[in-house]
Amino acid sequence: MELIFTPFIVIAVLAIVIIIKNVIIVPQANAYVIERLGAYHTTWDTGIHVKIPVIDRVAKRVSLKEAVVDFPPQPVITKDNVTMSIDTVVFYRIVDPKLYTYGVERPMMAIENLTATTLRNIIGDMELDATLTSRDIINSKITTVLDEATDAWGIKINRVELKNIMPPKEIQDSMEKQMKAERERREKILQAEGEKKAAILVAEGEKESAILRADAVKESKIREAEGEAAAILKIQEATAAGIDMINKVNPSKEFISIKALESFEKAADGKATKIIIPSEIQGLAGLATSLTELAKKD
């Protein structure tokens, strides 16, 4: 009995082994291109698949994740005949495994050569200064050209970045001197502006100080004038009050004459060389003189 069933067991074991070997699990973010009898058959996505032994085969395993490739520096010539080296970084993703497998031989080399030629065409229309200051424009142009060209290869170019732009040594030295001169110029401008602002502040301070001194003198003179005016007003008010009081008591003519005589005496004590005596007090003046002589005789 053992001899009868042994071949069947062997055949069953071989069948199980063959089935296991032909069960293929496609990982996440991957795709397998399957050929049947040498021709493209299908593309397997993530999951479990079974291929027919001998007839089917996995032609290519393709990663669908975004990839990055760093190309070596490429010599380019600008519009003003300056030779420089530029290296690029390309970010891409495979969107069609079938086209990627059968579209082009050695896709990365094709992309590298296409990047180099596109870069030379773009830089050839730009001068050195524009090349150094227009990275975003260059990146955008290269990305557009590469993306259109690689559609037939099942590749999506997400972006292209210029990693380094290396002008010749003499150009670098000249640029460094220019930058140094520009920094020195800015430093002098800032220093001059600082001195100008300082001088303006000093002048404004002196101006405000002079204005304050003038305002103080003006205020002092105004207060002095107001004081003098107030004093004169007080004197006039006092005089008017005195006259008013005299008028209220109804003074006699003789009293008024005596007051006039007193005023005459004060005027006579001055330095005036000519004195005009009113007629009203001339009589009193003569009377006063007579009384003085009588007093002397006694």
Which residues are CB-neighbours of 1 under 8 A, at least 6 positions away?
none
Classify residue 47 as left (phi > 0), alpha (psi -120 to 50) or beta: left
- What strand order describes the sheet that includes 56-63? 39-44, 30-36, 56-63
pLDDT in tens, 242-266: 777 766 666 656 556 666 556 555 5
Largest pairwise CA distance in the chain:
202
CA-CA distances (angstroms) from residue 190 to 29, 193, 195, 292?
A: 58, 5, 9, 96
pLDDT at 254: 59
pLDDT at 256: 61
Output the CATH code of domain 67-167: 3.30.479.30
Q: Three-state DSSP class for 55?
A: coil
User: Secondary structure of 145-168 in the HEC alphabet?
Assistant: HHHHHHHHHCEEEEEEEEEEEECC
pLDDT band at 1 (very low <50, low <70, confident <90, very high): very low
The candidate with the shortest Cα–Cα distance to 163, out of 119, 113, 111, 126, is 119
Q: What percent of the chain has pLDDT over 90?
A: 32
How large is the average pLDDT for residues 195-201?
Answer: 88
Which residues are CB-neighbours of 268 under 8 A, at least 6 positions away?
275
Q: Model's pTM, two decimal places?
A: 0.56
Q: Three-state DSSP class for 64?
A: coil
Task: Report how far residue 230's alpha carbon sits from residue 214's, in angstroms, rounded to the nearest whole number.
Answer: 24
Domain range summary for the chain, segments of one domain joined by + = 17-63, 67-167, 169-265
Task: Report how far residue 44's alpha carbon sits from residue 98's, in angstroms, rounded to the nearest whole number.
Answer: 11
What's the chain's average pLDDT?
Answer: 81
Classify residue 276 as left (phi > 0), alpha (psi -120 to 50) or beta: beta
